[in-house]
Amino acid sequence: MPIAYSYKRFSSDAQEGNDSIRRQTAAAQKFIEDHPEYDLTLDTTLSLTDAGVSAYTGKNLKTGALRQFVDAVRSGLIPEGSWLLLESLDRFSRQSVNLAANELLNLINDGVVVVTLHNETIFRREDYQGMDGLVNLLGAMIAMQGHYQEQVTKGKRVAEAWRAKYAKVTEGHIVTKTTPFWLEVNPQRTGFVVLDDKAEIVREIYKRRANGEGKASIAADLTNRGVPTSRGRGSTWHPSAVEKLLNSDTVIGVLENRHGERFQNYYPAVVSQEVYQAVKSLRQQATSKGHTPTHHPLTGLVKHMPCNATMRRINKGQTNTKKMGKSPVRLQCSSCGVWLPYPMASSAVSDALFNSQWVPAPIPEGKESIDLELSLDALMDAAEETFVRFKKSKNPADRQQWERLTEEVQAIKSQLKEVKGRNTMLLAEIEEQRLKTASSLLDAVRSVAKRIEINEDLTELSLTMLSGKIVSVPVNPLASFKD
């Protein structure tokens, strides 16, 4: 008796309110009841619901419940011959047809029978031995392309709507739902009201930073005084929260949308231009104590392969697992949230750079060394011929010529060794200078690496050089963060 699994997905709360899950579940149950000939049993143990997960970006196939189903099939937890019931193919994917069809075929080839409930089309592996499978596949590909184009069109309409919405900013309209924590929208929705107590915190942070005080010192003092954080969920301020506020242009009234368009005087300014410019200039300068901002060379360079998402350096909060140890500083996937200690990641990158045998490009040896090598080859050939002739003739003249040629060979070898030695010294000087300009091996990574990727379970790191060479190294599980 085959087991049928009902996969359900919706991408917004509105759809949930419209009873999307109930509708999709009812369709699966109805299919089973209407087709007793398949003798299906609906599974109720595995939750296959992706709530608020996009199929257009493929997130449901990367990290969602559908990904878990696919992994369970490939690991054998879900046996061949199981059925996957979908309301329609757009529940499965809204990606372009080349991506969506590939994922569907992989699942079918793994022995899963896929059903689209809205038209009761059945996709089986064995059907592709005849015309039925081809006809169904062509229909599926057309439907997938339609779902993809629909999403693209919807995206364009949304973008146009946002452009029209932002066009009203110049007319004084409020176009944003969220506001900075020191402001609120007035009851008439015609402008903003400054919350003086919170705005004063912002001004204090800016003034203290403009006077040269460090972000960590400001954060520690706010925490010690019990000042509520910007989110109002506690009183623990992190330096990153202070830095985010100091990098914001909203304090001088600027609204910047996700397309990078800037609108002046949208918000009321709560920081003077003088103080704001003083803080802005410090972003590129040392603090009053002479320290330059800490540079983290892996920031934005490492990606988690399954999610294709950047792994960010996190330096707040604390995690503690038996495998990783205690680590306040970590590299964390911005999509699925998996992490590993930052020292572990940097150690793996250093290993990859070392294994890549990265050195500056070799210096051309030039005409001098080339001429010497040609002369050496000719003399060695002549010496060998003369020695062979001497062994046969025992002629003293041949012996004298062989000894002269041998001396010349040794002389040229010495000259060639000297030339190559000069090149090696020059190469070493260049390498030494390069290491001086880079504070560490990791600082050099951005000049030689195209990308860095970490696999799904964080056990292997792959570094792709600008040359195209790929170096893979294991991530050392013993390199956990040490107190």
Residue 124: give its domain's CATH number. 3.40.50.1390
- Quote the pLDDT of residue 414: 79
Question: Is residue 459 located within the same domain as residue 326?
Answer: yes
Type of residue found at 123: F
C-alpha to C-alpha distance for 103 and 97, rounded to whole angstroms: 10
Q: Are both 322 and 456 inside the same structural domain?
A: yes
CATH code: domain of residue 200 = 3.90.1750.20
The stretch 121-150 carries a mean pLDDT of 79
Q: Give yes or no: residues 24 and 134 share one domain.
A: yes
**Half-sphere exposure (Cβ direction) of 188: Cα atoms closer than 13 Å:** 5
Same domain, 273 and 303: no
Cβ-contact 124, 111 below 8 angstroms:
no
Cβ proximity of 85 and 40 under 8 Å: no
Q: What is the pTM of this model?
A: 0.37
Other residues' Cβ atoms within 10 Å of the Cβ of residue 11: 22
Among candidate residues 154, 172, 194, the one where a domain is terminated: 154
Question: What pLDDT score does 317 carry?
Answer: 54
Of the chain, the percentage scoring pLDDT greater than 70 comes to 72
409-422: pLDDT as tens digits: 788 777 777 766 66
- Secondary structure of residue 419 in the 3-state scheme: helix
**Chain mean pLDDT for the chain:** 76
Same-domain pairing of 102 and 201: no
Residue 291 covered by a domain? no
More confident residue, 134 or 73: 73
Nearest-Å Rg of the Cα atoms of the chain is: 34
Q: Are residues 278 and 327 in the same domain?
A: no
CB 320 within 8 A of CB 326: yes
- Report the DSSP beta bridge partners of residue 263: 255
Within a domain: 120: yes
In a domain, 169, yes or no: no
Non-local CB neighbours of 365 within 8 Å, separated by 6+ positions? 419, 420, 423
Tell me, yes or no, whether 307 and 276 share the same domain. no
Q: Establish how many alpha carbons lie within 13 A of residue 278's alpha carbon, considering only the half-sphere containing its beta carbon.
A: 17
455 in a structural domain: yes
Q: Are 242 and 251 in contact (CB under 8 A)?
A: no
Q: Are residues 338 and 479 in the same domain?
A: yes
Is the pLDDT at 384 greater than 70? The verdict is yes
Checking if the pLDDT of 396 tops 60, the result is yes
Lowest mean pLDDT among 5-9, 180-184, 388-392, 460-464: 388-392
Q: Which residues are bridge partners to 123 per DSSP?
A: 114
In total, the chain counts a number of residues equal to 483
- Domain boundary, last residue among 220, 249, 282: 282
Residue 142 per-residue DSSP state: H
Of 154, 169, 197, the domain-final residue: 154
pLDDT at 437 over 60: no
Q: Cβ distance 348 to 476 under 8 Å?
A: yes
In a domain, residue 229? The reply is yes
Q: Are residues 367 and 480 in the same domain?
A: yes
pLDDT digits 0-9 by tens, 75-92: 888 899 999 999 888 888
Domain boundaries, position 200: 183-282
Domain assignment of residue 347, yes or no: yes
Indicate whether 115 and 34 sit together in one domain: yes
- Nearest residue to 42 via CA among 52, 51, 32: 32
Are residues 207 and 150 part of one domain? no
Residues 142, 229 share a domain: no
Number of domains in the chain: 3
Q: Is residue 203 part of a domain?
A: yes
Residue 229 reports pLDDT greater than 90: no
Whether residue 165 lies inside any domain: the answer is no
